[in-house]
Amino acid sequence: MNRLQKAIDSLYKGIKPLSTVVNSIGMAAMAVMMVFVAVDVTLRKLANMPILGSIELTQFMLAICASFGLAQCAVNKGHVVIDMVTSRLSRRNRGLLGIVTGILSIGVGVLMTWQLFNYIFITMKANNVTGVLYIPIWPFVALVTFGFALFCAVLIIHFLEFIVEGSGK
């Protein structure tokens, strides 16, 4: 298992910087979104001049924020864990439970990423655009797909960690 642990460590060395950069882009999108919404609401209330297409732009920024933060949260192990139950298990049983949940998580994540990937081409072929600003939707679907793919990569690394833990070595 020592070789597997070395492989996990080298995978983390590649994925951590990438997830940090992607997360930073998501945080920047959130900061822009907050300012944008504040300006839009202020203009709407004070001058009765809402920003045209503000809801569409906010939705795009929110999608980027959410999908670009997933991988970093997973790298930091920030997702919910039921410690009350898992802390009472032996290391081996925790590893086995992690393997089962890992398989399920990877399965759902890969399925979502695959369907998002397909949706890129569906929206591109249909020439789907937003209703007000006529912005093509497919580039934003592609960005969300990238965020989910990166998240799946982190899930696979966690799965490998659970294999090491489940082996009891």
User: What are the pLDDT digits (tens) for 47-91?
Assistant: 999 999 999 999 999 999 999 999 999 999 887 776 777 788 888
More confident residue, 124 or 1: 124
* Predicted model pTM: 0.89
Counting residues of the chain whose pLDDT is more than 90, the rounded percentage is 72
HEC secondary structure over the chain: CHHHHHHHHHHHHHHHHHHHHHHHHHHHHHHHHHHHHHHHHHHHHHCCCCCCCHHHHHHHHHHHHHHHHHHHHHHCCCCCCCHHHHCCCCHHHHHHHHHHHHHHHHHHHHHHHHHHHHHHHHHHHCCCECCCCCCECHHHHHHHHHHHHHHHHHHHHHHHHHHHHHCCC
pLDDT of residue 168: 62
Mean pLDDT calculated for residue range 15-29: 96
Q: What is the mean pLDDT of the chain?
A: 92
